[in-house]
Amino acid sequence: MPQLAEGLRVVDADSHMTERHDLFTARAPKGYEDKVPHVETIDGEEMWVIEGKTFGRAGSGGTIDHAGKKHPFRDSQAGSWGIDDVHPAAWDAGSRLRLMDENGIDVQVLYPNSIGLGGHNLVNSVKNPELLRLCVEIYNDALAEVQEQSGNRLLPMPIMPAWDIEECVREAQRCAELGYRGVNMTADPQDSGSPDLGHRAWDPFWEVCAGLDLPVHFHIGASQTALAYFGTTYWPSQDDYVKPAIGGASLFQNNSRVLLNSAYSGMFDRHPNLKMVSVESGIGWIPFMLEAMDYELEENAPEHFQKLQKLPSEYFRDNWYATLWFETGRGDLQHLIDSVGEDKVMFETDFPHPTCLHPKPVEMVSEKISELRPETQRKVMGGNAVALYRL
């Protein structure tokens, strides 16, 4: 294996934890066991149920089997697999830590599966606001326990009650007290009835996140609006195994609209210490977008361009981070990282999802990573995450 820089600490900035079937019921107040999300067998399939309605299969949330073999998405996560079919590290914290040790990974950041990558599946399924609030708190309390019991080696990102800005402020404050190192936000709170994120009504939330050192994370596909890309970008005539490949690739570019809108909105002028992370979107598109966002705004809205305190592209430099994983094999990676900013790129594996680096993630990227400057290696593979998450 190519020699990596000395003192390298590997932090995986994007992985996923499949929700255990008893995650909500085990923590529900007495009398709420059947009201919170729980699993029922319906027509022979295990389904998540809340308020008498299903909101998705209680599936595997991954494509890796018990033997460590990776399977196509259509046959596993989107097929018949249940939680018992996927590798235990997909849902069990102890198994995850053992697998991390085998792979030389010190810390992993965790995102949800069944409840929605931004928690949006809950919002779309629950009408009772008190019950919805309870579900958010149960999930965040449960994952805070995972973080604490792992000795901060597992860093889940808590979901926010995006339908209510005041509740988001309160929950962010509560999550900071629980020890969380960031928050997981949907890209489109307007899907659940709130103003869009560029509205000044969100300023109290940005102020809290900036003040409590809670970077705001936007995972690809973290809203109903974003997921529309997955289900509509392929041509209907495409093969059923090709469709998720087209949909998945389309999701990467979707995060560029969050970057564009945030930079143009002026939120970073009002909250210069606010940090945001584009998760599982790669970095190859960023250099072009940094040029495009400056050019387009000056050409189309010159007065607004002059009102901003910085060039739009400079807000990425000062306020944004992004993750990379498989896109290390082509071209000059050092040049790409320098174009994005070596302080703004973090390594990820996406375990146990279809595009994850598996079975030996660090070895899979080591040839290209070893070509980087030693200091760039240290920052990208872990140092930037160590600083961002106060490790």
User: How confident is the model over 25-59, as pLDDT tens digits?
Assistant: 999 999 999 999 999 999 999 999 998 889 889 99
Q: Closest Cα to residue 157, out of 179, 131, 141, 180?
A: 180
Residues 6+ apart with CB under 8 A from 48: 37, 38, 39, 54, 55, 56, 57, 58, 114
Q: What is the pLDDT of residues 76-103, one digit of tens each?
A: 999 999 999 999 999 999 999 999 999 9
Q: List, in sequence order, the alpha helices (H) in 111-242.
A: 120-125, 129-149, 165-177, 203-211, 224-232
Classify domain 11-31+88-388 at the CATH topology level.
TIM Barrel (3.20.20)
| Confidence label for 229 from pLDDT (cuts 50, 70 and 90) | low
d(CA 333, CA 331): 6
- This model's pTM is above 0.85: yes
pLDDT at res. 232 = 80
Interval 301-331: pLDDT, tens: 999 999 999 999 999 999 999 999 999 767 8
Which whole number is the average pLDDT over 166-172? 98
Tokens of residue 182, six digits? 């960031």
Instruction: Specify the pLDDT at position 52.
Output: 84
Q: Residue 9: which pLDDT band, with cuts at 50, 70 and 90?
A: very high
Chain segment 262-304, per-residue pLDDT in tens: 999 999 999 999 999 999 999 999 999 999 999 999 999 999 9
Q: Which residues contact 146 (CB under 8 A, 6 or more apart)?
A: 17, 93, 110, 154, 156
User: Cis before residue 361, ω within 30 degrees of 0?
Assistant: no
Prior bond of 354 cis (ω within 30°): no
On the question of pLDDT at 1 being above 80, the answer is no
Q: What is the pLDDT of residue 127?
A: 81
Residue 369 CA from chain centroid, whole number: 23
What does the alpha-carbon distance between residue 252 and residue 183 come to, in Å, rounded to a whole number? 20
pLDDT, tens digit (0-9, with 9 covering 90-100), for 331-344: 899 999 999 999 99
* pLDDT over 80 (residue 222): yes
Which has the closest alpha carbon to 105: 150, 165, 168, 69? 150
d(CA 19, CA 79): 18
Sequence-separated contacts (24+) of 135-140 with Cβ below 8 Å:
135/24, 135/36, 135/37, 135/50, 136/160, 136/161, 136/171, 137/171, 137/174, 138/23, 138/24, 138/27, 138/28, 138/36, 139/23, 139/24, 139/112, 139/115, 140/171, 140/174, 140/175, 140/178, 140/180
